[in-house]
Amino acid sequence: MTGDHSSRTGDPHGADTERLLAGLRFEPRASLGPEIAGRVRRGEVAKGGLRPRRPPVGRWLAAAAVLGVALPAGVIFHRLLAGPVVRVDQCCRDLDGGADANDGYLVHARGRRIERLVLYEDLDGDRRYSTPDRILLARGPSPSIVDDSVAGSVRICCVDLDGEGPADDGLLVLNSTGERVVLAGIFEQDVRAPTPVLR
Amino acid sequence: MNPTTRPTTQSPASETGPEQLCAGWYAAHGEAVYNYLRFQLLAPDEAEDLTAETFLRAVRAAHRFDPTRASAQTWLLTIARNVLIDHVRSARARRHVGLDELRDLAVDAPSPEERMLRREEVASVLDAMAGMSAEDREVLSLRFGGDLDIPEIAELLSVRAGTVRTRLWRALERLRERMK
């Protein structure tokens, strides 16, 4: 391990630093475990990280009424229950079957629902989706095939794309000749489902 | 924790209640999760909040845990990593570690002077780590806080073991430089 590095380089300070870290231990307070178990017993669910909290439903409805926003209540409730939008932007890989690993994917997910998926070629080299980039594919909530001449596929697994916690999501891309993307979908590795469903 | 003594599997939520499942996971891996987070946070309160969030998320996602793909500890540390990433996105400005924020430090030094020296030493380590890159902090915390070995870290980060060794060695070098 790293001790090998320290002894190999004859660096006593490096070994000291490693020993210091190896001996460093913090003890959580004894009541933390029972406290967490109690929260689970009471049915408390994870907040999904420390993202900004959703405002109370009543405040939303009052604001909507005051402003005269005529959004259907069903849409508001659906959005509130679905949670905040999680945005993941990953670059760079070869997604279009070209020679270069210069493609990225942008995912907007709300809960388990994929709201937007964009595959792009990172033309300006900033390793994220930005205006100068070339869009290879852009879709909404449902995957659809735009061409039937599939030349190859790219499968990326496993990362957390929907903000649910574990890194159990994957991206499947089908591409055709000429560096074209014909289908892209998100799937989840679920031990109960032998065949992952494309979202 | 000795890796050979770790429980490798836990009963899925369908076989035991979520509370028992959570209690079992916490008993086996709570300290590793807490230390992984604590190595990267400056206050025990933050580490406690994020530890609780990690286990709540784990209970919510228990049906997805597959012991054939990863150990419970690696899976829980993966969740803790995502919890930490969310937290860092909204974290306030960095500050220095105060000695009163080391109340959770395990110290077995016999004399008060030695205990004080130990606390100062640890405070300087955490201060130095807080100024390092997220990648350096992460690999050091997984190895020394989360108590994972090189192959387990490689699996968690989806990189090769050789890459982990290199990152760890460089992170230790940079930490040593910062502590000079």
Q: Is residue A180 part of a domain?
A: yes
Preferred mutation among A26, A45, A158 to probe B, highest tally of B CBs within 10 A: A26
Q: Is residue A64 part of a domain?
A: no
Three-state DSSP class for B178?
helix
Strands A85-93 and A169-176: unpaired
Q: Is residue B3 part of a domain?
A: no
Q: Is residue B1 part of a domain?
A: no
Q: Is residue A27 part of a domain?
A: no
Q: How far is A134 from chain B (nearest CA, A)?
A: 28
- The sheet that has A134-139: what strands, in order across it? A85-93, A103-110, A113-121, A134-139
Which chain B residues are within 8 Å of A41, Cβ to Cβ? Answer: 19
Q: Give chain A's domain count.
A: 1
Any A CB within 8 A of B165 CB: yes
Q: Is residue A91 part of a domain?
A: yes
Q: Is residue B8 part of a domain?
A: no
3-state secondary structure B72-110: HHHHHHHHHHHHHHHHHHCCCCCCCCCHHHHCCECCCCC
Q: Give chain B's domain count.
A: 1
For the ranges A65-74, B81-90, B150-159, the one whose mean pLDDT is highest: B150-159
More confident: A145 or B45? B45
Q: How far is CA A61 from CA A57, A110, A166, B39, B65, in A?
A: 6, 21, 33, 43, 38
Q: Which domain holds residue A146?
A: 85-198
Q: Are A162 and A109 in contact (CB under 8 A)?
A: yes
Q: Is residue B144 part of a domain?
A: yes
Q: Is residue A105 part of a domain?
A: yes
Q: Is residue B4 part of a domain?
A: no
The amino acid that residue B68 corresponds to is T
Q: Which domain holds residue B34?
A: 16-179
Across A7-16, A22-31, B2-11, B94-103, least confident range: B2-11
Q: Is residue B98 part of a domain?
A: yes
This complex has an ipTM of 0.81
Closest CA to A33 of B147, B33, B39, B119: B33
Percent of chain B whose predicted confidence (pLDDT) is above 70: 84
Give the Cβ contact number of residue A178 at 10 Å: 10
Of A24, A48, A166, the CB nearest to B144: A24
Whether A50 and B64 lie within 8 Å, measured CB to CB? no
> A67-107: per-residue pLDDT in tens?
776 666 676 666 666 677 888 888 988 888 887 888 999 99
Q: pLDDT tens track of chain A, all 199 residues?
A: 434 444 433 444 557 888 889 989 999 999 999 999 989 888 887 776 434 455 567 777 777 777 776 666 676 666 666 677 888 888 988 888 887 888 999 998 887 788 889 999 988 888 888 888 888 888 888 887 777 778 888 888 888 887 777 778 889 988 887 778 888 888 887 766 667 778 8
CA end-to-end span of chain B, whole Å? Answer: 30
The amino acid that residue A40 corresponds to is V
The amino acid that residue A89 corresponds to is D
Q: Is residue A65 part of a domain?
A: no
Preferred mutation among A25, A88, A187 to probe B, highest tally of B CBs within 10 A: A25
